[in-house]
Structure 1
Amino acid sequence: MTEWLNYWQSFLQSTLTVPDTRGERQRSGAVPPLVEVREEIDPPSSADRLLHATMGQFTWGISPAALGLAYADWAFHLAVSPGKWQRLMEKTVRKTVRFAVYAMRGAIDPTCTRCIEPLSQDQRFRGAAWQHWPFNLIYQGFLLQQQWWHNATTGIGGISRHHEQVVSFVARQLLDTVSPVNFIATNPEVLETTVRSGGQNLVHGAFNLIADWERAVGGKPPVGSEAFPPGGRVAVTPGRVVYRNRLIELIQYSPQTEQVYAEPILIVPAWIMKYYILDLSPTNSLVQYLVERGHTVFMISWHNPQAEDRDLGMDDYLRLGVLDAVEAVRTIVPGHKVNAVGYCLGGTLLSIAAAFLARRGDAELNSVTLLAAQTDFTEAGELSLFIDDSQLSYLEDIMWEHGYLDTRQMAGVFQLLRSNDLIWSRVVHEYLMGRREPMTDLMAWNADATRMPYQMHSEYLRRLFLNNDLFEGRYKVDGIPVVLSDIRAPIFVVTTERDHVAPWRSVYKINLIGETDVTFVLTNGGHNAGIVNEPGHIGRHFRIARRAAGEKYIDPDTWVDSTTAMAGSWWPAWAEWLEQCSSGRAAPPPLGAPDKEYSPLGPAPGRYVLER
């Protein structure tokens, strides 16, 4: 019996005890690291992935664990902050008194000063009907509650900045769901419409809701989008597909002038949506505008990934996308450098490609234009609320099931970022008021999303959003980091004042590389509407300034204050900049190069843009 016990004791010690090799390392002269390297995380099991994928169907792809950690951090630090509790109680008393005084004065003088004003971007309570009793009291009380919850979820010592932003964002979303605008009884505009139409608005709204539900369940696009098929009413600039691989089609647009600028333009759009955001209707097509000014324009059209494309990564998008396209353009238009343009994610990828080509010593780019594209992700706006280790692991498990991120999950996140504009205003207008917004080309494009392959999306979020590898010099291609400061081609950057995807102060950090000329433009509008900003568009303005290589850095707020706003579209200013970078004019090049394996494969817009 004693021998048996001794055997199991020695077995357990050998299997459960980790040998201490510190003495051996010291004797051998090896110095132990100050910080132990984190071991590799065990890969999740199929059960883990299945559970997370199932949960993701009900959470819009948002990790409950990430939310739980954020709320635990907030709740604990709030619980041990008696000074914060005192200030919140004082605010409660002041707001209550202010509201009571306003209620009494308002009963006597409806024009008296309101106790709280909506934020400048909040248009929900601007109508005249909201200024009459009792609706003025209803919305004033709601705004005071909203302000109090903002105070309660921010300004707490000790909580991480990321968790504070998450809690504040979620609190705002929850409050928006119970806004008095969203309910018949508390919305005077809906009540007035209901009385005037005898309730027909609610009947029409019910039909709208049923139609939208049927389309959503069936995976169909929104009502009216079928009137804007690519190649029909949108994406109609004449051209030919001159190259195709498993990831891209390259479109070369037909010349419309007798002579063209010598340097061709290659546009790299984002692959999260279809390319024709830059070739919408003829009146607002950036491609058409450039061609009419005498430019030779090429456009990448991305393949819509399927399950078999799950292993396409960032390197594939770099090589099969930008680098293959650059090679094709250089072959079709030999002897001239390329004016490269990148929009949104395409701009980030283009900056990687430009740094890679510069590291390799290739002077293939004549200029680089970045449209609403980030290179530094430390201030990536509210989209970064959904980016942390917990969220990304959860998202990877969701993508693992199908091999890609579904378009509905991406759309859900972007709608949350602008829930008042994209969710609740639609609920009120289409379901309570019973009015359909007429479909536009931009709205139809916005509904024409693409999927994101598992490998690429995971690498993009981790290497760029989470770790900021590109801007900090850790992003590797072929095992060697690429560095933005290696870029010597002049850079033209366009960003927008109300961009919720690429906030302009984040985009402005391109000025920190300091090794080349940077022309920076800040225009009004949002992420899409600010870029689709054709001349003649009423109410447009922009600021523009150039910083030469070697000039001292100016912080963004000082830059705004010292740069005069100019009326109109930024398109002409950019086109003039491109033309100043040109070496002259020449006869238009042929469409494709049949003798060099770039034969025209069919008319624009090609096949990939039609993939569902």
Structure 2
Amino acid sequence: LNPQKSFIRWAVEQGHTVFVISWINPDERHGTKSWEAYIREGLQYGLDTIEKATGEKDVNAVGYCVGGTLLAAALALMAQEGDHRIKSATFFTTQVDFTYAGDLKVFVDEEQVAAVEKAMNEKGYLDGTKMATAFNMLRSGDLIWPYVVNNYMRGKDPLPFDLLYWNADSTRMGAANHSFYLRNCYLENRLSQGMMELAGRVVSLKDVTIPVYNLAAKEDHIAPALSVFLGSKYFGGEVDYVMAGSGHIAGVVNPPAAQKYHYWTGGKPGGDFDQWIAEAINHPGSWWPHWQRWVEAKDNTRVPARKPGKHMKTLGDAPGTYVKVRV
């Protein structure tokens, strides 16, 4: 993405100290890494690192798509374990209930999941090209056929478009991690029902009582706005549901300077979804400033700007080395 579209850069400009977990592109070494391992060695290790780097224990956490689902499950587990370092959670196009989970459910039934698991167990991961193909097939009219016609048949070069370039940068999925996700979320819907088991505990989203900013995208076919809306009721605390214009990526990556799309805010996310939309307030432009006001309302304490690497050795410039790995 170009710098003008970077939410991270914008958040830093608003005064946030931003840390990002850069997930490794898994290979056979990571085939047995479970959801719990991603929580312990990813999220909670990240919280430990933030404290070492800044001295701060309190964190506002953000999770995007499946990263948000992982964050929600982690928060439920951490609540039971007495780990309260995360003070607010923001979810970007995240599902915690999979009753109306969108077009991807076409690829999820027992037979197909078993076939995916068999293929993953041979290598320890699901190949990134298979992930990309599945997503492209959901929107073949936008992501497949225009390139067949314009590039292959007409010999034209594709127009440069950073969002689609990012979308085409596929990643592998570790076998144990992906199998857990498919079965516990898409097939059995265990997280919202309070039946998911992590670290020997049965976790419940009702234990997540911190403030939640739950962002959906109106035209999202991966995490439909209805699905995100219905998922809001399972948390145990205050939830602010916001619906952005556009889809799964463009609805989130929408800097204020672009003056594009709209977003909707309304009452508590309960009752009928269509009724919520009918009564919601339509705001022009980006939802980013609205989120900033939401965060500041929780705690607007300011500190002097921090310099990366002051207390810990840096490994290199952002965005790190993992993102350079090609599938």
Aligned partners of 1:544 and 1:330: how far apart in 2?
A: 34
**Alignment partner of 1:578 out of 295, 299, 306:** 295
TM-score between both structures, scaled by the size of structure 2: 0.95
Specify the alignment match of 1:567 in structure 2: 284
Superposition map of 1:513-528 within 5 A? 513=234, 515-528=236-249
| Alpha-carbon distance between aligned partners in 1 of 2:81 and 2:267, rounded to the nearest angstrom | 27
Does residue 1:607 correspond to 2:321, yes or no?
yes
Select 1:500's aligned residue among 221, 225, 239. 221
Tell me by how many angstroms 1:579 deviates: 1.5
Once the two structures are TM-superposed, the CA of residue 573 in structure 1 deviates from its matched residue by 0.5
Distance 2:136 2:225 in 1: 20
Deviation at 1:538, TM superposition (A): 4.4
Report the CA distance between 1:593 and its aligned residue: 6.3
Whole-angstrom distance in 2 between the partners of 1:383 and 1:363: 33
Query: What's the secondary structure of 2:100's corresponding residue?
Result: coil
Q: CA deviation at 1:335?
A: 4.3
State the one-letter code of the partner of 1:284: K
1:400 deviation in Å?
Answer: 2.1
Q: Distance in 1 between matches of 2:281 and 2:153?
A: 43
* Matched residue count: 326
Distance 1:376 1:567 in 2: 29
**Out of 250, 270, 277, which is 1:553 matched to?**
270
Q: Partners in 2 of 1:281 and 1:467 — Cα distance?
A: 39
Higher share in helix = 1
CA distance in 2, matches of 1:423, 1:503: 22
CA separation in 2, counterparts of 1:375 and 1:315?
17
Q: What are the superposed Cα offsets for residues 518-543 of structure 1, whole Å, 9 maximum, x if unpaired?
A: 11111111111111111132441010
Question: Aligned to 1:301, what secondary structure does the other structure show?
Answer: coil
Q: Partners in 1 of 2:209 and 2:306 — Cα distance?
A: 27
Measured after TM superposition, the shift of residue 354 of structure 1 is 1.2
> How much has 1:590 moved relative to structure 2?
4.3
Q: Does 1:324 align with 2:41?
A: no
Query: Does 1:431 find its partner at 2:145?
Result: no
Gaps of 5+ in 2: none
Q: Sequence identity of aligned pairs in percent?
A: 39
Structure 2 residue 303 is the aligned partner of structure 1 residue 589: no
What code does the residue aligned with 2:315 have?
A: L
Identify if the C-alpha distance between structure 1 residues 432 and 538 changes in structure 2 by more than 3 Å, giving closer, same or farther: farther
For the pair 1:537 / 2:254, whether they are aligned, the reply is: no
Does residue 211 of structure 2 align to residue 490 of structure 1?
A: yes
Rounded to whole Å, the distance in 1 between the matches of 2:4 and 2:109 is: 41
TM-score, length-normalised on structure 1? 0.52
Give the deviation of 1:486 after TM superposition.
0.8
The offset of 1:386, in angstroms, is 0.9
4+ aligned runs moved over 4 Å, structure 1? none
List per-residue Cα deviations over 1:487-522 (Å, max 9, x = no partner). 111000111111111111111123312631111111
How far is the alpha carbon of 1:350 from its aligned partner? 0.7
Is the Cα–Cα contact under 8 Å of residues 332 and 589 in structure 1 kept in the other structure? no
Q: Deviations over 1:559-602 (max 9, x none)?
A: 001102111100110111111112411123342464xxx43222
Counterpart secondary structure, 1:602: coil
Partner residue of 1:464?
185
Letter in 2 for 1:580: A
Contact 2:64 2:91 in 1 (8 A): yes
Distance in 1, matches of 2:260 and 2:310, equals 43
Structure 2: distance between partners of 1:361 and 1:545: 32
Q: 1:496–1:525: 8 Å Cα contact kept in structure 2?
A: yes
- C-alpha root-mean-square deviation of aligned residues, in Å? 1.7
- In the alignment, which of 283, 294, 301 is matched to residue 15 of structure 2? 294
Q: Secondary structure at the match of 1:379?
A: coil
Worse overlay, 347-356 or 325-334: 325-334
Can you list the C-alpha shifts for 1:189-228, whole angstroms capped at 9, x where unaligned?
A: xxxxxxxxxxxxxxxxxxxxxxxxxxxxxxxxxxxxxxxx
